[in-house]
Amino acid sequence: MLEVNLSGLKLKSPIILASGILGVSYSLMRRVIDAGAGAVTTKSIGPISRKGYKNPSIIEIYPGTFMNSVGLGNPGINIFVSEIKEIKKHNIPLIVSVFGNSNEEYLEVATKAENAGADAIEINISCPHAEVSSIGIDMDLTYKIVKFLKETLVTPLFVKLNPNVTNIIEIALAAEKGGADGVVAINTLAAMRIDVNTRRPILSHGSGGLSGKAIHPIAIKKVYDLYKAVKIPIIGCGGIDSWQDVVEFFLVGASAVQIGTALYKTTEIITQINYGITQYLKDNNYSSINDLKGLSHQFKTQEVPDFD
């Protein structure tokens, strides 16, 4: 009932580990898979090792809502290749998130990840506290990098979209035109908190990205709008911590979802969500979660009456 086919990737569950959460070592990814995830997405990996920003780099600002500014800290692709090979020994569906300072560096990292066994590549062009966000706010740059990568890569290519733009649809359409196999919507929202006693930002970097429950309705709206515009699959991401959240994403048009922030509680939340979705499908006489996709678009919203 929970199986999905995502651009050729056959997943036992529509739930995918989001990039940046637990996706840096085999042991952590194994826990996520054992809990019932259909695939895992690694932390964003670059061409060389990067320390990222100093602490405090992540804080909980409301229950279930966090702000982070990790700064794309990672070991670099040459070191991470061994981790990819270890993961693939255990037949775990693996999406490797990549970034770079140029199209050529994105390709270098993606190619090494693909050669090491990655099942798909996700390009991070939208992190709000790193330089890569400059790509994801420009439809021409988005089109060019996707087209450039697709000329070489064999595995599916997913593009993580930036919600901090005026028109996310034009960015998604540019990715689709470039040959993307799917889009991930959404990345974190640019945010900031100030300590009133020190009178400086709480995060060491200053600003950061907002994730968790507070952004869920925003993510739902973005996926709803994207579903009406693009033909490629949409992976919904933002504030999932219940089975209802996953069902909601499918109803607005998602083909799969990513979960991240909620895992601060326990990886077992994935098991609980899978169970809840299964019960919902049975109770409503659906044979597959795929049957839910886009159903909310069958209903018209209330129109403003015409009094002329």
What is the torsion angle, in degrees rounded to the nearest 10, for the CA atoms of residue 252, residue 31, residue 159 and residue 256?
-20
Please report the sign of the dihedral spanned by the C-alpha atoms of residue 138, residue 139, residue 141, residue 145: positive
* Euclidean distance between CA atoms 174 and 204, whole angstroms: 34
Please report the sign of the dihedral spanned by the C-alpha atoms of residue 152, residue 155, residue 161, residue 167: positive
Q: Are 84 and 118 in contact (CB under 8 A)?
A: yes
Please count the CA atoms within 13 angstroms of the CA of 204 that sit on its side-chain side: 9
* Euclidean distance between CA atoms 131 and 75, whole angstroms: 18
How far from the centroid of its chain's Cα atoms is residue 18's Cα? 5
* Catalytic pick among 16, 118, 120, 127: 127
Residue 94, helix vs strand vs coil: strand
Residue 231: C-alpha distances to residues 87, 172, 177, 215, 249 (Å) = 31, 10, 10, 24, 16
Q: Are 139 and 171 in contact (CB under 8 A)?
A: yes
- How many helices (H) and strands (E) the chain has is answered by 9, 16
CA-nearest of 290, 283, 276, 175 to 230 is: 175
Q: Is 237 a catalytic residue?
A: no
As annotated, the active-site residues are: 127
